[in-house]
Structures are given as structure tokens and as C-alpha cells.
Structure 1
Amino acid sequence: MTTEGFHVLDEKSLREYIKATPSLASKLGNEVDKLDIKEVGDGNLNFVYIVTASSGSLVIKQAVPYVRLIGESWPMTKERSYFEATALKHQHGLSPKHVPEVYHFDRTMSLIGMRYIEPPHIILRRGLIAGIEYPLLAEHMAEFMANTLFYTSLLYLTTTQHKNAVAEFCANLELCRLTEQVVFSDPYKISEFNRWTSPYLDTDAEAVRKDNILKLEVAELKSKFCEKPQALIHGDLHTSSVMVTQDSTQVIDPEFAFYGPMGFDIGAFLGNLFLAYFAQDGHADQGNDRKSYKVWITDTVSGTWNLFHKIFTSLWDKHKEGPGEAFLYAIYNNAELWELVKQKYMTELFHDSLGFAAAKMIRRIVGVAHVEDFESITDLVKRADCERRALDFAKMLMKKRRNFNTITDVISAAQ
């Protein structure tokens, strides 16, 4: 497929592209005739190449004008690569330890060249399936989310800065529309793209479509997603958008980035940790019942939220006399009022995060795109049992999220 100077690269044409692009060739020691190029994209949308030479390496990511998971029958703007590259640059600037550097961006070719996150980094989801513990994961994700969300919000920015930033990302509407469809709409109606572990979850999927209270709650969450430009969010912060080792955490793939509700990012990450939690029984065997690993996952859930809360409010305190116009210091300089403002704000953010976590869990069980945590459980009866428990928890969480005051209470409800 070609459109307006765009063409899909293969290994041969990518080699020629790199040769003609100094910002990429220089990262490889200009050894462009001796490159090892491997296509590794396993996502739903893009082609991803790892390019290595004896003196360097990088990743090339190219967006194509359709949903790769479905094919050319589902067109999709390739402009999403512009928003991904722009978001990566912003997020790397705010959280350089946890976001890869962008070396090159070609808008016509919808191509990003960036740092190769080298082995032993693996996709977090695969580590969770394998039962690997990452002792710094909660701390690193809390840092990433606190920094990228706080510094792009009105808690830090002036209204002029914020509106200009919102305007920059508002054109990423097609990816937002995709999220609106697959997260907030399709799971709650008959859709040709929905699937689930049939026939075992047939009645469970039908129950979602018939649950009026659930539909009212997801409508409120959809409204917030569409109407609340709170901060620059990653927009797709699940456990396959994070690469990890024991001492490193790297957040990738922010092509869904736009100015939206902070809780959508927090909820996406926590919701996917809960999906991993409920999948563990399906991966248990005689050698490992996964019980201690489930404890580690819930500890990571609580650690992520509690550390995020601590870092985020510390940043807020640090910059309370700064340019941020949401709560001008001249108005909120009373110590008691300041604490009330923070408490109200963080409580609402907590409940938003729980609601979005629930929505992300539900769509991964009865929607179009599922998760390997469950899909890798080959025994369909066992898989369906894990999915049903996750689904029941998510439905409860969405409907009763305002009743929870602490993350510990949420975890107790999941056990």
C-alpha cells in the first residue's frame, strides 16, 4: 500500500532508507552494508524492526494506514506516528530514565527511529506470565506516571500553555475514536469484532451487554475520556507497553497519546496487573502454585498507587507557588484548604483510576483484543474460570469504585 509518498518498508528497502538517513546511519557506525534487520512487531497496529550493527543498534517503527491485526479492511491513519514521536520526546524529557530516546522521525513515511531497549529487557506481560518478580517496577512506574502527568497538567502549566498542548494533540482523534469504540462501546453491545472464550463465557458476555448499571457507569467513564483534557496521557499503558529488567523499566508505544484524564493511564496499568493476577491460577502447576507470585502482584499494585500518590503530591507541594493555574497559590495558601484541595483531587483521581482499570479489564475479556496472560492458558475451562473471576471483579469495581478509600481495600476485594 502506498499513499502520498508513503510505502511500507521491508528489510531491503529499510536498509537503503537507513543508508540515506545520517541520523540513523551514525547510530550504527555507518556500517549500513552489514546490518542485521529483524521484524519483531507483535502488536495490533505497526511494523517494528530491530536493526543491529557491530557498533550500535536501534529500533525502527513504522505505522501503516490500517489496523495490522485486522488488515486493510480496517483503515487507520498513519499520522498516529507523529503523535507517538511527539509524546515520546515529551515523556523522555520528563522521565528520561524510563522512556527511550527518539533519534529520527519521518512524518511522510510514518517512521520513528529510537533507542533499542536491549536484552535482557523483555515485555512486562511476558515476565508476568513467566512469574518473574521485578522489585523496582512499582517505584519506576509511579515515577513515570507522576512526572509525565503532573508536569503536563494545570497543576504545573498555565492555562495558555495547557491549551496549546491540548491543541497539539487534539488531532489524534482516530486513535481516540478507536479507544472509544473498543474500550467503552463494543463490549457492551453486539459487535462483529468482539470475542471471548466460547462457549464457556457466552452467558457472561451476554450479562455484560444486559447490565444497565454497568452501562451507566461506563458512559460516565467514556464522557471523562472524551471531555477531560487533564494531562498528556500515554493512552495505552498496558503491560505490553512496558519493557523491564530487574533494575530498569522502559515505557514504549505512546501512539494513543493525547490530553485526557490522568486516571486512564493509571487505571490501564493497574487493570493489567489485575489481569495478570487473575491469570496466575491458570499458569500454576505442581512445581509452582503461583500463590506467592500473586502476593507480589498485589504488592506491586498497592506500591504503584501509593508511591504515585506520594510522588505526585510531593511535586504539587514543591510547585504550589509556581505557574500552575488550577489552584493559584494566592487563593489556596491556607494550610487547611491546601490539604483539602489535595485530598479531594486525589480521591477523585483514585476513583477515576479504578473505573478505567475496570473498563480496560472488561474489554480484554469480551472485546476485540485479548491479552496473552489468559490466551496462553491452553486449557479452555481453566482459562474461562480465570477470565470469569477477573470479569466479575471488574464489573464490581466499575459499579462500586466510589466505595473504596484505599488500594488495600481494592486488593482485598480481588482476593
Structure 2
Amino acid sequence: MKLFQLVMWRMSAILVVILTCWAVLFYVAVMEEVNDEVDDSLSDYAESLILRSLSGEEMPATNNGSNNQYFLYEVSAQYAASYPKISYRDEMIYITAKGETEPARVLMTIFQKDDGGYMELVVYTPTIEKYDLQRAILGWIVFLYVLLLLMILAVNAWVFYRNMRPLYTLLQWLENYRLGTKQEPLDESVRIVEFRKLNQAANLFSERSEQLYEQQKLFIGNASHEMQTPLAICRNRLEMLMEDDTLSEKQLSELMKTHRTLENLTRLNKSLLLLCKIENRQFTDVKPICLNELLMHYLDDYKEVYAYRRVQVEVHVEHCFRLEMSESLATVLLTNLLKNAFVHTEEGGTITLTFTTSSFEIRNTGEAPLNKDRIFERFYKEGKKEGSTGLGLALVDSICKAYRLRLSYRFEDGMHIFTILS
């Protein structure tokens, strides 16, 4: 989830809770105020009726034309003691003037006459339809608060994007950053202190990475030169010793084993140096390459080896699989996949190569699936094949990652299948 979406979602949730609570409090406050005004009116009317009753004046009609009604009757002392002196409640009553039942506010009070008797006065006055009020308030709350919520979110979105622009600039700069390529440094004069420090740290990190990168390239070049020469000298000396006729068969066998070990060490050294160069992106000879055409140049060299084990090779070209990459790395990619197919194909098996506009697939017959979770690890050898450095598929994986190609392996119907998608 993006930062903007997370912020907007959390803000929306908080605002909904706050506005809902505010709406409830607003409704309670409105109803309280309405009831308070009605209760004051009832209280004044009831007080005037009590004064008339106590003074012996003529009482007004129970329905005086103002929708107010009252009932006055005598009650016992026990009844008066069991009820509060004054109370308010809501109920539905029949309004004589209108001839219909409506919601009303009711005041009930008990007072004592001069002769010691008790009278109960019940006063009714029509009030608002609270259910109608609830619906009206709810409708306006939904309209006004949704509008308010959208306006708040719109303002926050504008403020967020406005203030977070340096962050998005930094993210784009990091996405486009490539080690070993010249790139403009980030602006360190932004107004926001945190983003200014972040840009300064990113620029400093970039400078240090470039320095380390240059040092590593220099080390790789020196290591390649320094290690290959002694290895070549050792191999030449062993070959000269092996030509000595005075050597016994046992001595010659030991020298041959040592020579094979040196050859493996030389291949291993070359593979490791190649891996370092791929990861450091030191192959800059990028150009359009048709992978199936490149394969045909090297396939003839392998056909004789395949024929020795009676391995059939089939090539299916639907379209040219064209890539933008270094030709030398494309050659390494193809040759390592071909070698791997030869190593894991039983005698008399089949290797099938298929090219489309967006994929390259190599299939070879096999007895059991490879460990798909480890086959691309460095120095991992499936079945401990003799002469293998364990870096062939690791090189293929590194090349695919360097050029953002998707590499996958699966085992179906007795076939090992490696697929490369652009």
C-alpha cells in the first residue's frame, strides 16, 4: 500500500468516527434544547393554572385553542407521596382541536390545596415529530458531513502531495540511479529540513558507492591479471613435466590429476571474475541481439559432443527473440544453458530449443527434477557432476537479473524446462 493511500485511509477512518460522535452529540443537544424550551412553556402554563386554582378563580377551558390541554383532579396523600412533585415525559395524545393523535410533551405536577388536600395537574402541549426530526437531521448530517469529509480529504491530499514532492523526487532519483553512470545529484536546497538532510545523505551515499565501485573495478582488473598468469605458468610447467619420458606411470597419473585441478581452478577463477563484472555492470557493449541467430553460431560446436552421447537437438524458431544486451554476456547465457542441458540429459535423450518474440525455452530429457530452490545458488552442484564449478546457472541467473529478464525452471513430463522471458 502506498503512503498516500495509507494516510488517506487512516484519516478517513478517524474523521468518520469523529464526525459520527459529533453528529450524535449534535442531535442530543438539539433535542435537549427543544425539550427545554417546551418544558419552560409548560412550566409557565402549569404555574398560572395552579395560581388560579389556589386563588379560587375560574379555571380556563381544558382546550383553550392553543393546542394546550390540561387535566386537574384530586388525589390521595399516599398517591402524592409516591410520585415526584413535577415530571416531564413524551407520549402520544389525542388533540381535540385537530381531531388527531400527535406527539406531545407532558408535564405532571402535584400541589397541595389550602385545606390540606392534594391535586394533580397534567398539562399537554403538542411538540415536534421526533422521528421526522431524526430523519431530517440524519439526512442533513449525511449530506453535510460527507461533503465536509470529501473537502477535508481533498485539502489533505493537496497538502500531502505538495509537501511530499521532494520524497517522490528522491524515489524517482533512486529508481533511475545506476552504479557507474553519471547522474545529477539531488537538490540540497529544499525548504523542508528532513528532506534536505535525506537528499544530503543520498548524495553522500552515492559518492561513497561510486568510490567503492571504482576501487572494486580496479581490484577485479588487477586480480584477473595477477591470478591468471600464475595459473597459466603452472599449467605450462605441468604439461612440460608430463612430456618427460622418465616419469613413471604413477607419477604421470598424479601430474594429470594436478593438471585437471588447475584447469578447474582456472575455470572457477574466470567464472567468479565474470560474475563480479556482471554485478558491477562492467559490460557496456550493449546492442540489439537476435538470440536465436547467435545460438546457431555456437550450436555446431556442441553437436559433435551431443552426438557422442546420441543426444538429439531440435530447434524451433517462431520469431526472432531480440534483446538489448552485451553480446559476450548473451554468449555466456546460451553456452551455459547448453552445457547444463548436456550435463543433465541421459544418453539417447533429446534437447529442444524454442524461440518466440518474447521468450526462449530450452528443454532436455531427465530422470528426476532438480532442486528449483537451489539450482541458481553459487557452487551448488546437483548430483556432484564431475568438472562442474557450480557457477553455470548462477551466471545465467546474474545475467538475467542484470538485464531484467525473468528466468524460471520447472520439470514436466520427464523434461527439464528453463524459460527466459523478456
Q: TM-score range by the shorter chain?
A: under 0.3
> Given the two structures, how large is their TM-score scaled by the length of structure 2?
0.20
Using CA pairs below 8 Å that are at least 6 residues apart, which structure has the higher relative contact order? 1
Choose 1 or 2 for highest CA Rg: 2
Structure with higher strand content? 2
> Given the two structures, how large is their TM-score scaled by the length of structure 1?
0.21
